[in-house]
Amino acid sequence: MEKVKLTGIPREMIALRISKEIKDGDYVNLGIGIPTLISNWIEGRDIMLQGEIGLLKSGPLVTDEEMIDQDCINASCQPIIEIPGTIYFDILESFTMIRGGRMNLVVMGALQVNDKGDYAGWANPSRGLDVGNIGGSMDLVAGADRLFLAMEHVAVDGNPKVVKKLTFPPTTTGKVNMIFTDLAVMEVTPKGLLLKEVAPGLTAKDVQSVTEPKLIVSPDLKEIEF
Amino acid sequence: MEKVKLTGIPREMIALRISKEIKDGDYVNLGIGIPTLISNWIEGRDIMLQGEIGLLKSGPLVTDEEMIDQDCINASCQPIIEIPGTIYFDILESFTMIRGGRMNLVVMGALQVNDKGDYAGWANPSRGLDVGNIGGSMDLVAGADRLFLAMEHVAVDGNPKVVKKLTFPPTTTGKVNMIFTDLAVMEVTPKGLLLKEVAPGLTAKDVQSVTEPKLIVSPDLKEIEF
Amino acid sequence: MDKVYQKIEEAIADVNDGAVIAIGGFFACGVPRLLLQALIDKKTKNLTLTCGCGPMVGATEELRALVKNGQLKKLIDSYGLARSASKGRQDPFEQAVKAGTIELEVVPMGTLAERYRAAAAGVAAVYLPTGAGSIVEKSVVSSIVANRTPKETRVFNGKTYILEYALKPDFAFVHAHTADKEGNLRYSKTARNFNPVMASAAKATIVEAENIVEPGEIDPDCIHTPGIYVKRVVQVPRIKVRVGID
Amino acid sequence: MDKVYQKIEEAIADVNDGAVIAIGGFFACGVPRLLLQALIDKKTKNLTLTCGCGPMVGATEELRALVKNGQLKKLIDSYGLARSASKGRQDPFEQAVKAGTIELEVVPMGTLAERYRAAAAGVAAVYLPTGAGSIVEKSVVSSIVANRTPKETRVFNGKTYILEYALKPDFAFVHAHTADKEGNLRYSKTARNFNPVMASAAKATIVEAENIVEPGEIDPDCIHTPGIYVKRVVQVPRIKVRVGID
C-alpha cells in the first residue's frame, strides 16, 4: 500500500458528525481524545454524559481559570462545571452502570481497528514497554450498547490504522459498530466494513487506498454530512 | 434423659451477663429475641450496634408512641431513636461490613446447639414446612469475629436444646464460641463444651441433667456473675 | 429526560403476566405499598416476587390480596414467612406454600443483596462464604425438597465458598423519599435498605416517591440511586405504616 | 470511639517495609498527598502501592520522590504511566519500569474496583466480562512478559467471563472532605472516586480529612464511608492542586 496523504475533515468535525448519531435521552460515555470534543456539540441537548470517575450529566468544561474546583473534574482530568442535575457517585457505582449495560453509547479513540470490529487502543508497543494504560476502556467496551470509534484514518507516520490484522494488543474483539475518521464513516457489518460516507472531495477509491481491508462501498455512498 | 424443670435466670439477666463480655469500641450485631435485650444493658457505653437493615450506632428503642418514625427501625422492625453518630446506609454496605469481618461480636438466638459449635436457628420442622426464615443469620455467622448464642437451655416442651446431634437444619457449623442460657455459661472448646458458670442455686450435675453432650466442668466453676 | 408519570396505573402498564418483580423494603419499612396496590388492582397473574427481607411480611394486607387473587406463582426472600408459627397457621400465604400452590425460595439476606448487585454490575457470578456447611449449598425451594439442586462450591485459602449467580428482575418496585424529575433518588433512613440495589438490578425500575423535585434540588453528593437506573417515577402520598412484624 | 490522631506521622507509624497500600484518588483528584508525603518522609521501603486510576500520575512530585528514594517495589494501577510517550521518556518511574527495577501491573479500572470490593465484602472471587478476548485474560505485569499467568475463564449464557480475585491491601490511604471523630466520612464531588471502596477493603484505613467534626454533624443519610472501616483520622489543610495530567 502506498503512503498517500489525503486531506480530510478536522477533528472537531469528526466530533460534530458523531454528535448527529446521538439520540435525545441517551446516556453516553466519551473517551479521551477526539471523543471528548463531542461534548462541545451537544450542549443544551437532553444527552447525559457519564464520567467514569463518578459523575453523570456532566456540565461543560471550565474555560475561566477562576472557576476551577479541583474536586470537580471529568475522567480526562479536566475541570468541569456543575449544572442542575449533575450528580456524583463513587467508582463502584460508576462501573456498575458501565459494565451493567446502562451506556447507550460509548465513543473511544483507537490506534488500530480491523474489519471484524476488533480494535486496539490501550498500548502502543513503540513506546518501548510491554504494558500500557488500560484505564476504563475495557470495562466501557464490555458494557456498551453501541461502540463507536473516533480516530484519524491514517497514523502520523503514514501507516494505515484501519488494518487487516491488528499488530497492537487489542482492547476488545468484535465489538465496534461504527468508525468515524477524518476521511470516512464506516459501519462494521458481518461481511466487512461498509463505506457509507466520505470526506468532501474524496472518492471511495481514495479512502480504499489508505485502508487495508477491502471496503464494501454502499450503494448510497455520500459525502459526510454535518 | 429425664425431663427435669430447673429454675434459671430470666431472659433479661442472660442479656445482662452477655453485656459484660462486650468491650468498649466493639462493633456488635444482635439477633432477634434474647440478643435484642442486650441493648438495654449497654446504653451510654462506647459500643456500636449494627442493624443489618442498614444502620450503625443504633440508638435506644422508642418507648413513646408519639416519637415513632416509620422510616427508622432496627432489623427486628422495632422503632428506634437516632443519636449523635447514628448513620444509615443501604443493604449492600450493611452486608459488606457483615461478611467482610467487621463485626467484633455477633449474638444470635438458637433452637439447638451441639458440642462442636454447630447450631440451628433458621427452621423448625415442627412448623410443618421444609423451608424457614434465614434472614441475615447465615451472613452474620459467616463474618463474625466471635459468635455467641443466647438461648433457653431447654425447649418449652422439655426437650434439650444443647444436643449431641442437631435434628433441625444447621445455620452454621463449628462457629459458635460461647453459649449463654438461663442455666449456664458454656464455652465451645476443641474437646467439647466447657461449663464455666451455673445459675444461682444450681450444680454442674443439675445442668448436665438437661444437657445431652457430656460437659467438661471448669475447675474454676462459679455462679453466673452480673 | 422527564421520567415522571401522573398515574400509577400508567407507570406499571407494561407489567405483564409472568413478570419477575423485585419489591423493595425491609419488613414494614420502605415498602412500595402503592405500587403493590396498583399491581393488585391490575390483577396481573403468574408473578414471581423477589424480595430482600420480608417486605411481604410487613405488607400483610397486600400479600393477602395477591394470594386471594391467585396472582402469585413464587416468592423469593430471606424472610418470607410470618415470624411466629401460630400467626403462620392463620396466614393464607403460608397455607398456599404448604399446599404447594405457591413456591417459596429462601436465600440468605446478604446473598440476595449480592445476587441483585451482580445483575446490576454485569457480574455473572460470585463466590460467597454464606451458608457453606448448611442447606444453602443447595437451592432451598419449598416445592422441590426431594430434588434440591446442589450448588457449586469451591475452597479458597482453606475456606469453602458457594458460587451464587446474578439475579436480574424484569422490574423493580421502589419506594423513595424524594425523586427529581430525571429519576435521581433519595431514601429516608432505614427505608433505604434493598431499594437502591434493586433499582440498579432490574431491567425497568418504577419508583413511587413521596416528593418530586426539579433536577439539582437534591444535594448532588447525596444521591442514593442515580437516575440512569430509573425508568419511571410517580408521586404518592406518605401513608402511615404500622411498625412491627407478626 | 475517638479515632483522631494529632500527628500524621503517628497515624502511619505502623506502616512497615513491605506493606501493600491502597492509594485513593483519580489522576489529580482526591489523592491523599499529605499521607504520601509522610510515607516519603518515613522512608518506608519495598512498598506495593495499589491504585485505581492514576493517582501517581496526578501526584507527580510524590511519585518522583518515592522512585528516587528507592521505596517502590511495585505499582498496581489501570493508568500508571504518563499519558504521553514523550513525557514518559523523561519520567523516572517509567524508566525504572523499563529497567525492571519497579514492577507495574496493569488491571482494568472497573476490575480493580471490583477486586477491592470483593475484599471488602468477604467475596473470594467474581466472574467479570471485562477484558475477555484481550491480554487481560492473563496477568499484565511488566516484569513477567515471557511468562504471563493465564487466568481462569468461563462461559455463562454464551459470553466469556474472567475469574478475578479479591485484592486486600494492608492499608488504605484516603483523602476525605469531612470526617467525624468516629471515622464517618464524606467526600467532595469527583474526589470521592476510589476512596470509599479502598477504605472498606483495607485491613487498616488511614484518613486525611480537610475537616473534622463531632459525631452527628454530618447528615446521617449522607455518609459515604461508615466509620466502621476507618482506623485513624488526621486533619490536613486543603492544599491547592494543579488539575490536569501529563
- Given a cut of 90, whether residue C55 has pLDDT beyond it is yes
Is C130 close to B99, i.e. CB distance below 8 A? yes
Please, which residues 63-122 of chain B have a Cβ atom closer than 8 Å to chain C? 68-79, 82, 88-92, 94-95, 98-99
Interchain pair D123, B99: CB under 8 A: yes
In a domain, C147, yes or no: yes
Using a CB-CB cut-off of 8 Å, the residues of chain B touching D123 are 99
**CB atoms D193 and A75 under 8 Å:** no
Residue A74 in any domain: the answer is no
What DSSP string runs through B105-141?
EEEE--SEE-TTS-EE-S--GGGS-S----TTHHHHH
Cβ of residue A145 closer than 8 Å to a chain C Cβ: no
Does residue A158 fall inside a structural domain? yes
Whether C21 maps to a domain, the answer reads no
Chain D from 166 to 225: CB within 8 A of any A CB? 177, 187-197, 224
Confidence at residue C82, expressed as pLDDT on a 0 to 100 scale: 93
Residues of D in contact with B102 (CB under 8 A): 228-229
Cβ of D110 and A78 within 8 Å?
no
Q: What pLDDT digit, counting tens, does each position of C21-40 carry?
A: 999 999 999 999 999 999 99
Residue A175 located in a structural domain: yes
Domain assignment of residue B167, yes or no: yes
Q: List all chains that touch chain D, counting a touch as 3 or more CB pairs closer than 8 Å.
A: A, B, C
Domain with C157, as residue range(s), is 125-165
Look at residue C38 and tell me if it is in a domain. Answer: no
What's the pTM? 0.97
- Which of B33, B78, B34 lies closest to B53 in space, CA to CA? B78
Query: Tens place of pLDDT for every residue, chain B, 226 residues?
Result: 656 678 999 999 999 999 999 999 999 999 988 999 999 899 889 999 999 999 999 988 898 989 999 999 999 999 999 999 999 999 999 999 999 999 999 999 999 999 999 999 998 888 889 899 999 999 999 999 999 999 999 999 999 999 999 999 999 999 999 999 999 999 999 999 999 999 999 999 999 999 999 999 999 999 998 8
CA distance to partner chain D, nearest, from residue C232 (Å): 24
Q: How far is CA C131 from the centre of its chain?
A: 21
Which residues of A carry out catalysis?
52
| Cross-chain Cβ contact D216/B83 below 8 Å | yes
Pick from B84, B92, B102: which is nearest to D214 by CB? Answer: B84
Split chain D (246 residues) into runs of 10 and give each run's mean pLDDT.
Answer: 97 98 98 98 98 96 97 97 89 95 96 98 98 89 76 96 98 98 98 98 98 98 98 97 84
pLDDT band at residue C85 under the 50/70/90 scheme: confident
* Average pLDDT score, chain C: 96
Judged by CB atoms closer than 8 Å, whether chains meet at D130 and A138 is answered as yes
Q: How far apart are CA D154 and CA D115, in angstroms?
A: 18
SS3 D208: strand
pLDDT for position C32: 98
Please name the residues between 49 and 78 in chain C that touch chain B, using a CB distance below 8 Å: 52-54, 58, 78
Query: pLDDT for D101-142, tens place per residue?
Result: 999 999 999 999 999 999 999 999 999 999 998 888 988 888
Contact C124/A at CB under 8 A: no
> Does C126 sit within 8 Å of D123, measured CB to CB?
yes
Residue C134 in domain: yes
DSSP C7-70: -HHHHTTT--TT-EEEE--BTTBS--HHHHHHHHHHT--SEEEE-SB-HHHH-HHHHHHHHHTT
Taking contacts as CB-CB distances below 8 angstroms, the residues of chain C near A56 are 226-228
Dist. CA B121–CA B99, nearest whole Å: 18
In-domain check, residue C143 = yes
Kindly identify which residue of chain D lies nearest to residue B72, measuring between CA atoms: D221
Neighbours of C, requiring at least 3 CB pairs below 8 Å, are A, B, D
Which residues in chain D have Cβ-Cβ distances shorter than 8 Å to B100? 119-122, 200
Can you give the residue range of the structural domain that contains A151? 11-35+101-218
Query: Does some domain include residue B135?
Result: yes
- How confident is the model at residue B2, as a pLDDT? 59
Please report whether residue C25 resides in a domain. Answer: no
Q: What local confidence, expressed as pLDDT, does residue D85 receive?
A: 86
pLDDT band (50, 70, 90) for residue A4: low
The pLDDT assigned to C159 comes to 96
Q: Within a domain: residue C42?
A: no
Predicted local distance difference test score (pLDDT) of residue D144: 72
Total number of domains constituting chain B: 1
Please, which pLDDT band fits residue A87 given cuts at 50, 70 and 90? very high
Catalytic choice (B12, B52, B212, B223): B52
How high is the mean pLDDT of chain A? 95
Residue with more model confidence, C148 or D59: D59
Q: Bin B195: left if φ > 0, else alpha if -120 < ψ < 50, else beta.
A: beta
In a domain, D209, yes or no: no
Number of domains making up chain C: 1
Closest CA to C23 of C56, C57, C46: C56
| A225 within domain boundaries | no
Instruction: Say yes or no for a CB contact (<8 Å) between B96 and D121.
Output: yes
Q: Does C243 touch chain B (CB under 8 A)?
A: yes
Give pLDDT, residue B117: 97
Which residue in the set D110, D135, D141 is minimally distant from A169, CB to CB?
D135
Cβ count near C128 (within 10 Å): 26
Decide if A121 is inside a domain.
yes
Each residue of C87-142: pLDDT tens digit?
888 999 999 999 999 999 999 999 999 999 999 999 999 999 999 988 888 888 88
Would you state the pLDDT for residue A3?
62
Q: Which residue pairs from B67-73 have beta carbons closer than 8 angstroms and sit at least 24 positions apart in sequence?
A: B68/C243, B69/C189, B70/C28, B70/C29, B70/C191, B70/C240, B70/C241, B70/C243, B71/C29, B71/C30, B71/C177, B71/C188, B71/C189, B71/C190, B71/C191, B72/C189, B72/C190, B73/C26, B73/C27, B73/C28, B73/C29, B73/C190, B73/C243
Pairwise CA distance, residues C206 & C7, whole Å? 12
Q: What is the CATH number for A186?
A: 3.40.1080.10
Q: What is the pLDDT of residues C38-47, one digit of tens each?
A: 999 999 999 9
| Interface chains of chain A (3 or more CB pairs under 8 Å) | C, D
